[in-house]
Amino acid sequence: MWLNLKLSHKGLILVAVPLAFEFIFVCTLTTLLSQAENEIKREAHARQVIALTNGIMKNILGLFMAVGGTEMARSPMFTKQYESAVNELPGQFDHLIGMLQDDPQKQGSAREIRSMWDDGVRTINDCRIKYEHGEIAKAARLLPSIKHIAGTAIDKLNAIVVDQHKVETDSPEKQAKLRAYVQIILAVGVALNVVLAFWLAIFFSKGISKRVNTVADNATRLAAGGRLNAPLAGSDEIANLDSIFHNMATELAQAKRNEIAEREEVERLKQEFVMILSHELRSPLTSLKFLLSLLKEGTYGEINEQGLKKVSIADRNITRLVHLIQELLDIETLESGSLSITKAKMSLSTAIEKAVEAVSGPAQLKQIEIEQQLAEASIVADDDRLVQVTINLLANAIKFSPEKSTIKVVSQCNATSIQVNIIDQGRGVPASHQQSIFDRFRQVEASDSKEKGGVGLGLAICKAIIEKHGGMIGVESEIGRGSNFWFRLPTENEID
């Protein structure tokens, strides 16, 4: 149930539970303190009632005793005492009745005493008048009635005093109990506050913090491609977020499987394409090239100048296609990691001379001179592959050099490596292209493919071959001042 609550509801619980507990705690303390305050008021009220009742009884007894003596009845002191009592008692009775309003029974008793005393005052007045007129015998006959009224009033007032004394006596005990209850409630409240704090901490840790940490860990694992934790139970926002991560992981896994399948399909298509290039195109083109060479030589009869020109154009185009197919096959071989390198001790200068000889035809067509400054050095490398690299670099230099310019081939060696520099006087390579130019299908300008030929694979092949030898390749160039394409090979290599 808790796990199905939303975060807003859990937050409300975290706030509402302590507030509810504090509200109950404060209400309980307020009730106990109110009861204690009421007990103090009851005790003070009881004392006031006792004092007032005692005053009433004192006035009644004093008045009765004064009336009881004939001589005293004629004295001025009796007259003053009588008048004072008669004047005070009505107010005292009214005050007593008002103070006993919370106790209807006692209040009724006080009203009854007041009524009796009103009758008694009239009898006392008659007795007093008879004393004043010398009718002592008649006054004496009224005294038992006055005594009865006074005794009854005193008894009822005593009952009120006894009851109020009981209240006065019990109140301190009740106050002590209430104080004890307050202390107990305070102690229990503090203990429950501690328990509630621990419970809320555990609830927050298990219900929110721990679950959030699990989601955060799943996010980290998802980014790293690892296995996620078990899905969180519940239907709150955290569980929903965790479910989203698990769905993402499932979709990514499926996408990865699809990617692998697509990559395998692409690899299969590439293999088919390579086979088509190798068997369906290169072999017929080679045969066609051989046939064109026979036509040029007149094997099948003499052809006119226009025919020879067309045959030469076809021969150049076929040569270009064969070269392109060979480059595509080479780059496929490089990507598959099956590039064959056969290392043996060789003369680098001899390999360079072979390359220069191979490109002498295109160089002569543009009247480009190739100067060689070669250092004699022997290295362990694949002779054919180094010739291929040098031919590619020289062919590029010739392609982008102006007519009647010079290309320098310079080799330098030291104790650990040998470097070959091919320096031309062409247009140069922008700094922004000097790294990317060695990637597949990359050329400095998009128009180079049409104007200069090639598809941007030669330098990528050169880089792969040089790196297979444990070497490096690069270019140093300034726009308008030519380029220096170089490669560096270690002098020490293991022989295959």
- List beta partners, residue 347: 378
pLDDT the model gives residue 422:
92
- Measured between alpha carbons, how far is 478 from 140 in angstroms, rounded to an integer? 153
Beta-sheet pairing, 406-413 with 369-373: parallel
Fold designation for 342-490: Heat Shock Protein 90 (3.30.565)
pLDDT the model gives residue 280:
63
Residue closest to 348 by CA, chosen among 192, 488, 445, 211: 488
- Measured between alpha carbons, how far is 344 from 493 in angstroms, rounded to an integer? 9
How far is CA 44 from each of CA 48, 51, 267, rounded to the nearest angstrom?
6, 11, 105
442: number of Cβ within 10 Å:
15
Residue closest to 192 by CA, chosen among 32, 9, 24: 24
Structural domain spans, the chain: 2-210, 230-338, 342-490
First to last CA, the chain: 72
DSSP per-residue codes, 162-222: HHHHHHHHHHHHHHHHHHHHHHHHHHHHHHHHHHHHHHHHHHHIIIIIHHHHHHHHHHHHH
pLDDT the model gives residue 72:
45
Low-confidence ranges of the chain (pLDDT < 70): 1-11, 64-79, 81-82, 203-207, 236, 267, 270-283, 285, 298, 300-301, 316, 320, 323-324, 326-339, 441-455, 492-496
Q: What pTM, to 2 d.p., does this model score?
A: 0.45
pLDDT digits (tens, 9 = 90+) for 11-61: 677 777 778 878 888 888 888 888 888 888 888 888 888 888 888 888 877
pLDDT the model gives residue 149:
79
- List beta partners, residue 423: 408, 484
- Measured between alpha carbons, how far is 394 from 180 in angstroms, rounded to an integer? 108
- Measured between alpha carbons, how far is 438 from 51 in angstroms, rounded to an integer? 118
